[in-house]
């Protein structure tokens, strides 16, 4: 956003502004002109004034103290007790009233002044030293000020001019000049605007001296020029140089300083040429010719693209229009004849060119031309600059020319008075609305409910009724808008199952004692090559950032895994264990479309799970924790099983992890990180990871069915099954379920045993079966029947036996 | 009841009260109401020998006496049991200052907790929470929001541009959304008024980071459209939001601002929680609000008629408001976190503290 610096004293030249810099800034800020900060020497000096010692007498009860009566304007007088000896009656001094915040003269802190009795006499405020005002370290005596300063002015205004640093909105090019800010302030404070008055230039320039042409009317709407001779190039006056510096520009010499000064004042950039260097006495706005090049003022030789608008003389381009001048036609110490250019350009073209040249921000001119400046500024700025050249460079105005082939019509905005309450929700009295508009220089005609408004020419941002409503609202104050709770029709909500599920999962995982993390979604692409032992990718090639802030944030992560590995590794440097999870989208590129943003859960466990206490033994996270946590989460949210086949999990321990697909998508991955990968991330070899695709999870969530507590008792049977090593527990489980049908209520695995009690190459699963019928108490015979059916099936299908 | 029976009962009750332990009490029980040879038991047995006319009265008196004795027995038994238990409990005392069995505490990240908080508050005002893509088309992020190419307002949004490894379409630029506002357009394209939605989500800017700025951050967007929503409704919704989030403590400020896709536009700010709105912290400029005393919480305004027209709404019939603000700043306010970079650093020492 464009930023301008507005020295307060300069601003006051155009408006009788009331109040301190802070009050002025507040008034501007609250009406929409954003004051970013106030720069001033010594920091804030609220409640500190220029005062005069009206009288001075001895303190009746103390030899070393004096009573000073201070006059600080508008009939205000206060008596203060002071120990200073360097003041006499009539001195002009800084006076701080009660409430002022000052540095402590005897220490480093800050104090807020309160009324204080000193040896029986009430001291109301203080006359200040330089140190108390934070102007220096001097606390030897009171700071004596220039006697010509106006008594009663805020000290901040009198001593060192404060500068308002204003961030402009791109729709307000009229505020790119200090006069524009003054116009706003005048409207806000209901006070007079004092625009610099300049005589119009006579449009009688001899074509032989200077011919002005617009060849590209799309790029250049208006081209004004003035011809001046008898110029003496030299330094500009001190006050002008000071103002330029305060506003952030470097003084060069009077001709350039004046064009800059007028640009700062009115917002309209100008350019001064040495008229004698213009070939063919011509200035023309045209497109660059094929192969044309130009050495610009920054010393760079630039090849001009053919869509670049240039200002040229009869033979060659002199500068890039609105952005940067050329060296050849520059004003030099010996220049005596000046051609002043002042033009209105098409802002988008300026923007494109400035962006291409990388000069969008650097050039004060292009920062202004990129906005839609009013073409009406052209003759005004030209006349103002010519006048200043006469005053400060001894110039003589020879003549001027104004080429304006298609004058812009003044737009009228038509609205109804009722639009104001319709948009704002509050009735603004008609006279208040009209008053606000006229304070801003808007003209209007009213007829019944109809209002036709003509904004001032400089206001290029006004075109629809809502614009007018906003103008009224910001001048009467947004405080006038009441606070109301909408009472309109309520839309019917839709449910968002994925979001709801995500919140449930989050709450469950937190409930299990895991810490949630949120990490950068843009990662270092080098991370992706560190996710498998051989560097092969575990996820699709990622979306890239074309213009990353750094390599560390240049790819949109296609997996959450590296983010969690990084978080774990950094935290394990100062703690023994981590249990973390993140729920975030991963970005999977799709051809000719936005990427698939798939919400994913990633859990990571590593290191110490339980610490040693007097009640607990230390324990590390192990491979069954991750399965327990994900299983518990699934059970808690009512998720069933994924339906798809299992697959290898790349980047993970091959024997201790796997992926399960669901509808062709990797839905669930869990297990132990490949220890070689763990090593690469400085993580313990035993690092466990779980990843769940949230959409797949949602697909297996089933509504809960109420379960009525059973009326009949259960029968417990503890059985030990001996099977071959190759038989997985899951296989046994499947056979048990198939054999016991719906009489099997639950199974608990009590023990897995390998050893002398069973044959080599075998293992034993000790199980507790809970059998129950919902319709009757099971008899011993029925239980016997089920167990023998189980025994038969396990023998038949798995070759397993029941251990006696 | 005869005096004799009354005396017997009284004596039994006295003996019961005098019993100092369970064995003595048991002996008393056997003596009076023992099944075999209890004094009262025997009398009941003797009822049969009485003339039939006396039997009912004598039986009733005996029953009353027996109940009285049995009640006294039960009462005394409970008292003896309690006092013996009490004596034992004294010896069972624990060191109550010993730590309890540890539980593992997980915590939500401040960002998701804040998003949850925001969504809940707006839900209460009839706003539904929806989400949208983080990687967006230029059209939704800019064009449809009245920010065509070359518009100076694009300066506000330093954009990270996206590149698709499967091929980029030069005519259709893809970017990392710079704000959640593209969802205003997507929602309006999909639905008809009345609309009230809140859109939390991640956003991206090409930006140098500091205590209050991140290049990856979170926003919440609000949109409400019906036939008569006005700026006062916008102000009401945001003031209510601020009050529900922070209580009545924080001051709220509403001032004009500019956004290409709202007209009129406004900014809502809260007074700074670090310096309490003074702009000064430890005698220097407050690093959180940059000395202004205010923290901008959301940009907002009435949805621009042009944006309504673009999605096919009749601006003469429908109007409404939109707002968008930073989640990170609110999370900072809610957790007293002075530097929002802590959110993404994921130092568990910090996360476990908030």
Q: Which residues lie below 8 Å from residue B34, measured CB to CB, with a gap of 6+? A: B41
Nearest to A376 by CA among A607, A222, A572, A249: A222
**How far is residue A730's CA from residue A743's CA, in Å, rounded to a whole number?**
19
- DSSP single-letter state for residue A43: S
Residues 152-171, chain B, touching A (beta carbon < 8 A): 152-153, 155-156, 160-167, 169
Share of chain B above pLDDT 90, in %: 56
Q: What is the pLDDT of residue A116?
A: 86
For chain B, the maximum distance between any two Cα atoms, rounded to a whole number of angstroms, is 124
Tell me the β-bridge partners of A66: A58, A82
Q: What is the pLDDT of residue A111?
A: 83
Nearest to A470 by CA among B265, B315, B253: B265
Cβ pairs A/B, distance under 8 A: 269
* Secondary structure of residue A46 in the 3-state scheme: coil
CA A424 to chain centre: 27
**How far is residue B329's CA from residue A506's CA, in Å, rounded to a whole number?**
22
Q: Which residues lie below 8 Å from residue A268, measured CB to CB, with a gap of 6+? A: A177, A262, A342, A368, A373, A377, A378, A380, A381
pTM comes to: 0.82
Q: In whole numbers, what is the pLDDT of chain A averaged over residues? A: 92
Tell me, yes or no, if A466 comes closer than 8 A to chain B by beta carbon. Answer: yes
More confident residue, B144 or B38: B144
Tell me the β-bridge partners of A443: A454
How many C-beta atoms lie closer than 10 Å to residue A164's C-beta? 25
Q: b/e per residue, B276-294, with b = 16+ CB within 10 A?
A: ebebbbeeebbbbbbbbbb
**How far is residue A145's CA from residue A86's CA, in Å, rounded to a whole number?**
12
Q: What is the pLDDT of residue A627?
A: 95
Q: Which residues lie below 8 Å from residue A181, measured CB to CB, with a gap of 6+? A: A4, A6, A11, A28, A33, A164, A166, A175
Selected residue of A173, A470, A562 to mutate for chain B interface (largest B Cβ count, 10 A): A470
Query: Is the torsion defined by CA of B148, B151, B156, B158 positive or negative?
Result: positive
Helix (H) or strand (E) holding A665: strand A665-673
* Secondary structure of residue A209 in the 3-state scheme: coil
Q: What is the mean pLDDT of residues A426-448?
A: 95
Helix (H) or strand (E) holding A355: helix A347-357
Residues of chain A by 3-state class (helix, strand, coil), percent to 5: 30, 30, 40
Nearest to A719 by CA among A775, A801, A785, A606: A801
For the segment B286-324, what is each residue's pLDDT rounded down to a tens digit?
Answer: 777 777 788 888 999 999 999 999 999 999 999 999 999
More confident residue, A40 or A623: A623
Beta carbons of A689 and A630 less than 8 angstroms apart: no
**How far is residue B237's CA from residue B60's CA, in Å, rounded to a whole number?**
80
For the segment B72-126, what is each residue's pLDDT rounded down to a tens digit?
Answer: 999 999 998 888 888 888 778 888 999 999 999 999 999 999 999 999 999 999 9
**How far is residue B325's CA from residue A557's CA, in Å, rounded to a whole number?**
25
Of A172, A425, A556, the CB nearest to B135: A556
Residues 5-64, chain B, touching A (beta carbon < 8 A): none
For the segment A125-176, what is each residue's pLDDT rounded down to a tens digit?
Answer: 999 887 787 666 667 788 877 777 788 888 877 767 788 999 999 899 999 9
B314 min Cα distance to partner chain A (Å): 15
Selected residue of A45, A413, A486 to mutate for chain B interface (largest B Cβ count, 10 A): A486
Of B153, B162, B206, the CB nearest to A170: B153
Which tokens in the block code for residue B302?
């009435």
For the segment B4-13, what is each residue's pLDDT rounded down to a tens digit?
Answer: 888 888 888 8
Which residues in chain B are contacts of A515 at CB distance < 8 A?
106-107, 348, 351-352
pLDDT beyond 70 at A249:
yes
**pLDDT tier for residue A329 given thresholds of 50, 70 and 90:** confident
For the segment A191-246, what is each residue's pLDDT rounded down to a tens digit?
Answer: 999 999 888 999 989 989 999 999 999 999 999 999 999 999 999 998 898 788 77
* Alpha-helical runs (H) found in A197-253: 238-246
Q: What is the pLDDT of residue B156?
A: 81
Beta carbons of A319 and A357 less than 8 angstroms apart: no
Share of chain A above pLDDT 70, in %: 98
- Lowest-confidence pick of A197-201, A289-293, A437-441, B84-88: B84-88
B156 min Cα distance to partner chain A (Å): 6
Residues in chain B: 354
Of B135, B161, B346, the CB nearest to A546: B161
Of A32, A488, A515, the CB nearest to B352: A515
**How far is residue B249's CA from residue B258's CA, in Å, rounded to a whole number?**
28
Which tokens in the block code for residue A225?
């020029």
Which residues in chain A are contacts of B94 at CB distance < 8 A?
none
* Secondary structure of residue A437 in the 3-state scheme: helix
* Secondary structure of residue B12 in the 3-state scheme: helix
Q: What is the pLDDT of residue A296?
A: 83
**pLDDT tier for residue B210 given thresholds of 50, 70 and 90:** confident
């Amino acid at each position: 956003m464009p930023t301008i610096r507005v020295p307060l004293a300069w601003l006051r030249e155009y408006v009788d502004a009331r109040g301190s810099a802070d009050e002025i800034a507040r008034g501007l800020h609250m009406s929409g002109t954003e004051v970013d900060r106030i720069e001033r020497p010594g920091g804030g000096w609220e409640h500190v004034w220029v005062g005069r010692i009206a009288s001075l007498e001895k303190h009746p009860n103390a030899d070393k103290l004096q009573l000073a009566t201070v006059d600080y304007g508008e009939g205000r007088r206060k008596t203060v007790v002071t120990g200073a000896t360097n003041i006499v009656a009539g001195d002009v001094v800084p006076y701080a009233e009660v409430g002022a915040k000052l540095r402590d003269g005897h220490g480093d802190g800050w104090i807020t002044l309160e009324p204080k009795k000193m040896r029986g006499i009430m001291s109301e405020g203080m006359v200040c030293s330089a140190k108390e005002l934070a102007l220096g370290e001097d606390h030897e005596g009171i700071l004596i000020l220039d006697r010509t300063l106006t008594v009663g002015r805020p000290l901040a205004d009198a001593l060192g001019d404060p500068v308002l640093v204003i961030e402009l909105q791109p729709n307000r090019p009229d505020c790119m000049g200090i006069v524009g800010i003054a116009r706003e302030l005048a409207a806000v404070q209901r006070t007079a605007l004092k625009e610099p008055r300049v005589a119009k230039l006579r449009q009688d320039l001899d074509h032989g001296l200077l011919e002005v042409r617009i060849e590209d009317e799309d790029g250049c709407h208006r081209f004004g020029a003035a011809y001046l001779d008898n110029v003496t190039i030299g330094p500009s006056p001190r006050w002008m140089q000071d103002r330029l510096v305060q506003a952030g520009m470097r003084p060069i010499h009077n001709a350039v300083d004046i064009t800059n000064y007028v640009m700062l004042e009115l917002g309209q950039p100008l350019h001064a040429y040495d008229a004698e260097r213009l070939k063919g006495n011509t200035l023309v706005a045209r497109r660059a010719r094929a192969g044309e090049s130009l050495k610009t003022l920054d010393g760079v030789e630039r090849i001009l693209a053919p869509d670049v608008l240039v200002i040229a003389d009869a033979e060659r381009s002199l500068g890039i229009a609105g952005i940067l001048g050329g060296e050849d036609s520059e004003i030099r110490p010996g220049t005596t004849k000046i051609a002043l250019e002042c033009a209105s350009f098409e802002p988008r073209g300026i923007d494109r060119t400035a962006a291409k040249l990388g000069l969008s921000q650097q050039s004060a001119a292009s920062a202004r031309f990129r906005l839609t400046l009013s073409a009406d500024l052209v003759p005004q700025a030209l006349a103002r600059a010519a006048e200043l050249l006469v005053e400060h460079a001894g110039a003589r105005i020879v003549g001027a020319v104004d080429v304006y082939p298609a004058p812009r019509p003044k737009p009228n905005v038509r609205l109804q008075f009722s639009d104001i309450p319709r948009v704002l929700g509050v009735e603004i009295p008609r006279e208040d609305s009209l008053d606000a508009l006229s304070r801003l220089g808007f003209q209007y005609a009213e007829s019944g409910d109809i209002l036709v408004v003509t904004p001032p020419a400089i206001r290029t941002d006004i075109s629809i009724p809502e614009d007018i409503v906003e103008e009224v609202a910001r001048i009467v104050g947004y405080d006038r808008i009441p606070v109301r709770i909408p009472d309109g029709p309520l839309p019917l909500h839709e449910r968002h199952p994925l979001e709801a599920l995500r919140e449930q999962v989050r709450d469950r995982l937190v409930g299990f004692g895991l810490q949630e993390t949120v990490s950068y979604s843009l990662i270092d692409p080098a991370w992706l090559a560190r996710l498998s032992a051989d560097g092969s990718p575990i996820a699709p090639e990622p979306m890239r950032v074309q213009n990353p802030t750094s390599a560390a944030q240049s790819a949109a992560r296609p997996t959450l895994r590296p983010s969690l590995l990084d978080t774990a590794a950094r935290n394990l440097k100062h703690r023994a264990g981590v249990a973390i999870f993140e729920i975030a989208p991963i970005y999977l590129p799709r051809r000719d479309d936005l990427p698939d943003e798939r919400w994913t859960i990633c859990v990571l466990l590593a290191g110490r799970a339980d610490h040693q206490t007097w009640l607990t033994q230390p324990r590390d996270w192990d491979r069954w924790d991750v399965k327990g946590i994900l299983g518990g989460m699934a059970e808690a949210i009512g998720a069933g099983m994924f339906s798809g086949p299992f697959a290898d999990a790349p980047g993970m321990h091959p024997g201790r992890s796997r992926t399960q697909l669901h509808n062709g998508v990797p839905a669930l991955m869990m297990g132990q990180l490949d220890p070689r990968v763990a090593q690469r991330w400085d993580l313990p070899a035993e690092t466990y990871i779980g990843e769940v695709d949230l959409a797949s999870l949602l697909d297996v969530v089933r509504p809960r069915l109420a379960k009525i507590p059973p009326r009949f008792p259960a029968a417990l049977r503890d059985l030990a099954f001996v099977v071959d090593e190759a038989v997985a527990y899951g296989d046994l489980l499947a056979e048990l379920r198939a054999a016991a049908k719906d009489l099997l209520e639950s199974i608990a695995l009590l023990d897995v045993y390998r050893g002398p009690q069973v044959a080599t190459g075998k293992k034993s699963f000790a199980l507790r079966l809970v059998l129950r019928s919902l319709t009757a108490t099971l008899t011993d015979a029925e239980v016997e029947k089920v167990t023998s059916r189980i025994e038969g099936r396990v023998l038949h299908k798995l070759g397993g036996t029941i251990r006696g | 009841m005869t005096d004799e029976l009354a005396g017997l009962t009284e004596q039994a009750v006295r003996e019961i009260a005098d019993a100092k332990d369970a064995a003595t009490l048991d002996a008393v029980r056997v003596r009076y109401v023992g099944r075999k040879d209890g004094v009262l038991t025997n009398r009941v047995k003797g009822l049969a020998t009485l003339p039939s006319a006396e039997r009912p009265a004598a039986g009733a008196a005996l029953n009353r006496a027996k109940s009285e004795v049995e009640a006294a027995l039960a009462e005394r038994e409970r008292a003896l049991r309690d006092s013996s238990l009490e004596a034992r409990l004294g010896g069972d005392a624990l060191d109550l200052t010993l730590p309890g069995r540890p539980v593992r505490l997980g915590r939500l990240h401040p960002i998701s907790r804040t998003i949850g908080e925001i969504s809940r508050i707006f839900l209460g005002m009839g706003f539904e929470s929806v989400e949208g893509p983080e990687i967006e088309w230029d059209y939704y992020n800019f064009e449809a929001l009245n920010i065509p190419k070359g518009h100076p307002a694009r300066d506000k949004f330093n954009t990270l541009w996206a590149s698709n490894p499967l091929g980029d379409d030069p005519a259709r630029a893809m970017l990392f959304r710079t704000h959640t506002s593209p969802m205003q357009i997507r929602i309006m394209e999909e639905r008809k008024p009345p609309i009230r939605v809140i859109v939390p989500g991640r956003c991206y800017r090409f930006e140098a980071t500091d205590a209050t700025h991140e290049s990856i951050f979170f926003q919440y967007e609000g949109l409400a459209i019906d036939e008569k929503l006005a700026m006062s409704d916008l102000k009401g919704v945001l003031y209510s939001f601020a009050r529900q989030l922070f209580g009545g403590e924080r001051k709220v400020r509403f001032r004009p601002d500019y956004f290409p896709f709202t007209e009129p536009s406004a900014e809502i700010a809260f007074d700074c929680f670090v310096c309490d709105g003074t702009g000064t912290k430890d005698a220097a400029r407050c690093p959180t609000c940059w000395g202004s005393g205010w923290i901008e919480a959301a940009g907002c305004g009435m949805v621009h008629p042009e944006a309504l027209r673009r999605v096919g709404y009749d601006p003469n019939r429908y109007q409404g408001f939109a707002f968008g603000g930073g989640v990170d700043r609110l999370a900072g306010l809610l957790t007293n976190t002075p530097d929002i970079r802590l959110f993404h650093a994921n130092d568990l020492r910090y996360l476990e503290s908030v």
